[in-house]
Amino acid sequence: MSADRLRLDDHIAALEAPQGLKSVLTVIAATCAQISDVVAGGALVGALGASGQINVQDEEQKKLDVITDDMLTQALLACPAIAGVASEEKDQVEPASNPAGEYLALFDPLDGSSNIDINAPVGTIVSVLKSATPTPVEADFLQTGRHQVAAVYAVYGPQTMLVLTTGDGVKGFTLSNDGQWLLTHDDITISPDTKEFAINVSNQRHWAEPVQRYLDGVLQGAEGPRGKNFNMRWVAAMVADVHRILMRGGVFLYPWDKREPNKPGKLRLMYEGNPMALLVEQAGGKATTDGVQPILDVQPTQLHQRIPVALGSANEIDAFASA
């Protein structure tokens, strides 16, 4: 049956896109397949546990954070089409010194890495931008999400899947036993209505009043103002929660938190918000900071800028905005 399925390499080759972008996507896919092997090895390959280092986000790095960051960085910098990369794990951008480099890659090498020690889903998220120069500096990376030419994530779970958009819909590929990415989800769309939501309810008391009102209405179920019962799902890895939404609808919320009032949110605009927002919008959903402002329209001012996130089924995001 695998012989009848479209291979990712063939899909990339058929794209109406510059050859440089095709090369970047090929490198990302190959590296994610390699990361899948490392993640699957877990304790058998000594990849579990903390690395003993603190990253630029002031978070303790897992061994796999460091391993996967190195893998993606080295692979992308070696791609002739890449002008530079930026990682959630590093303070500064890294130019590639490729004279023909014309693309920038920004990535979260292992989203949800706190899940790795309990064998729960984790993933890799990548955003691709055009570069104005083959010798980029940080300012060249600070483009709105509308400028993305591609967004990709891989989720490492019971199956390893890679989900991709180049601005013309969303497709999903599953990694086969022989290391091939095969098309399994040809036209991913998000249903406009849903009865599922993903949010860390334990933090409710720390949220702004509109967010608390929305959650109160949802939790009241059929007897409340929404008139229907909801189920909550929460994997504690954005890549896994967004993947569920792309597969069967729902909303994912990570709002502002008054415990850190000077931070607009926890998730990073450039490494998580923008690529996931492009995928969600391309699948027919909505991706906003507050139910109204599109994430893709936020002008970044810092490489590691944080934002609140509300994304998923369009009608439910509208309900969240009106709470």
pLDDT of residue 118: 87
Domain boundaries, the chain: 2-185, 196-321
CA distances from 240 to 4, 159, 310 (A): 28, 12, 15
**Residue 167 half-sphere exposure, CB side, CA atoms within 13 Å?**
14
272 a known binding residue?
yes
Which neighbouring-strand residues pair with 181? 175
69 a known binding residue?
no
> What's the predicted TM-score (pTM) here?
0.95
Q: Helix (H, G, I), strand (E, B), or coil: what is residue 321? A: helix
108 a known binding residue?
yes
User: Which CATH code of 3.40.640.10, 3.30.70.1450, 3.30.70.1560, 3.30.540.10 fits the domain covering 2-185?
Assistant: 3.30.540.10
Model confidence pLDDT, tens digit, residues 53-94: 666 566 667 788 899 999 999 999 999 999 999 999 999 999
Instruction: Supply the DSSP string of 15-33, one letter for each residue.
Output: SSS-HHHHHHHHHHHHHHH
91 a known binding residue?
no
Among residues 124, 81, 74, 78, the alpha carbon closest in space to that of 104 is found at 81
Architecture per CATH, 196-321:
3-Layer(aba) Sandwich (3.40)
200 a known binding residue?
yes
Model confidence pLDDT, tens digit, residues 134-154: 999 999 999 999 999 999 999
Report CA Rg, the chain: 19
112 a known binding residue?
yes
Model confidence pLDDT, tens digit, residues 102-118: 999 999 999 998 888 88
60 a known binding residue?
no
Model confidence pLDDT, tens digit, residues 278-291: 999 999 999 999 99
111 a known binding residue?
yes
pLDDT of residue 29: 98
